[in-house]
Structure 1
């Protein structure tokens, strides 16, 4: 298993801090070193700094897209180039290259992660910045909810879409009956399902404000499943 670490502070002298990190990293036992990966951050050590440290320590580099967008090196190369350069620091024993992917939360400090991973920017990222198989670690507040919708888009699996819909349909109904009905109609075409549209409907509903009337309606639909089993006291 790998543990991702940042380089740390600069303490008034960035070059000296880099050399200290290299010295200490190289003094560690191989038992410890084989678990470590170093990452670019958004404040102090950009991707060029981390790639330089990797050259002298042979520690793999995990590239972070959000940190890169906030703290780019002078004369920066493309994100795709840096992802490929980071990949070259990984050996067979390290496993497949992993990167961090996240999106900037609006109206929050630089580096703050969003509550959910919006699909369209993610699609743009994988189509334009990646050149081969890679493990993508999502840094996002809703954790598995983002992971499962992205996996659904990548797999284009109607069975998985129906399972996802079964779990979230009343969440959608509680926000918007029109979106609820649109998704039902979309999933009827099992041969040509538009998975991107399905996920975008879910995202739109999730971002809508609370609607008391829709909340009550959704609650009444759920109540219909077990009202005949309820006792008078439970009713």
Structure 2
């Protein structure tokens, strides 16, 4: 088999194929405050978090059954963990056996997992309060990974943030704030191009300057970019991963309606992905592709089947797909 490179597919946080398996059950601040006994309220949070972790393990085992070894964990596993109301709550100790069980299975099956904290985690804001809240949230992710026994290095994807003061100022503020972040949190971060504020060129500027791996998002690039020379930009993306212990990672989604729609479709446009996979031949040996589609695992399995019909694609399973070298006449 004269292969060019291999890749595997992953999906995000929840399964649409499993019933009653949400890893993102929560409690609102109002519900927490309505319980007069704070200790009782915290115990309820722990019960919800344990249920989330058990459901996450169910999903991971479901993934194993379908030979899926790449998965994004929900950032909502532990509700209100980073809220001021729960300050002092040692959730990582209360959840230790459940985190260990989850982590042990992930490591046993040699799966790649990570997080993508929500848009409230912003590292380029001038506000010290916003920065501190973002760091609290990142510390929660760090503690969860440590509790699972999984190396935190390059496990959290972030966007650059807002551009209220302009793109240039936003980039420089990111650099300044990043220098104040504890080293273990710095090492946890990857940066992704977005579809509103910071195109791939900006993210590469930060990734190259600060030695942060860049997660390329194809949909975001299609919606927002400056250079149409995607191959040159991609080669720069690859170089940002040269010191990472993990394979190069990218995101793929498809517009819901129309070419430039930012909303995500239920499924993936396999033709657009195939075009990209052909474009980057010869630049990588392996690639991890995270699917961001509304139909989650169903979308992944549908895409796997579609790719198997593409010229030069050899599919063994979702974690073992090969692009074959083109025969040039």
Whether 1:66 aligns to 2:237 is: no
Give secondary structure in 2 for the equivalent of 1:134: strand
CA 1:92/1:16 → structure 2, altered by over 3 Å: closer, same or farther?
A: closer
Give secondary structure in 1 for the equivalent of 2:179: helix
Within-5 A mapping of 1:14-93: 14-73=167-226, 76-93=227-244
Q: Alignment RMSD, CA only?
A: 2.2
1:115 aligns to what? 266
CA 1:77/1:26 → structure 2, altered by over 3 Å: closer, same or farther?
A: farther
Within-5 A mapping of 1:92-103: 92-103=243-254
Q: Where do 5+ consecutive residues of structure 2 fail to align?
A: 1-113, 115-154, 318-329
Higher gyration radius (CA): 1
Give secondary structure in 1 for the equivalent of 2:240: coil
- Cα distance, 1:109 vs. partner? 7.2
How many Å separate the matches in 1 of 2:234 and 2:228? 10
1:128 aligns to what? 279
Residues 26, 57 of structure 1: 8 Å contact kept? no
2:166 aligns to what? 13
1:149 aligns to what? 302
How many Å separate the matches in 2 of 1:120 and 1:77? 19
Number of aligned residue pairs: give it. 156
TM-score (norm 2): 0.44
Residues 222, 260 of structure 2: 8 Å contact kept? no
CA 1:97/1:27 → structure 2, altered by over 3 Å: closer, same or farther?
A: same
1:105 aligns to what? 256
| More helix, by proportion | 1
- Cα distance, 1:121 vs. partner? 2.8
Residues 66, 103 of structure 1: 8 Å contact kept? yes
TM-score (norm 1): 0.60
- Cα distance, 1:71 vs. partner? 1.1
Within-5 A mapping of 1:136-215: 136-152=289-305, 153=308, 155-156=314-315
Residues 156, 189 of structure 2: 8 Å contact kept? yes
CA 1:12/1:146 → structure 2, altered by over 3 Å: closer, same or farther?
A: same
How many Å separate the matches in 2 of 1:41 and 1:3? 15
Greater relative contact order (CA < 8 Å, ≥ 6 in sequence): 2
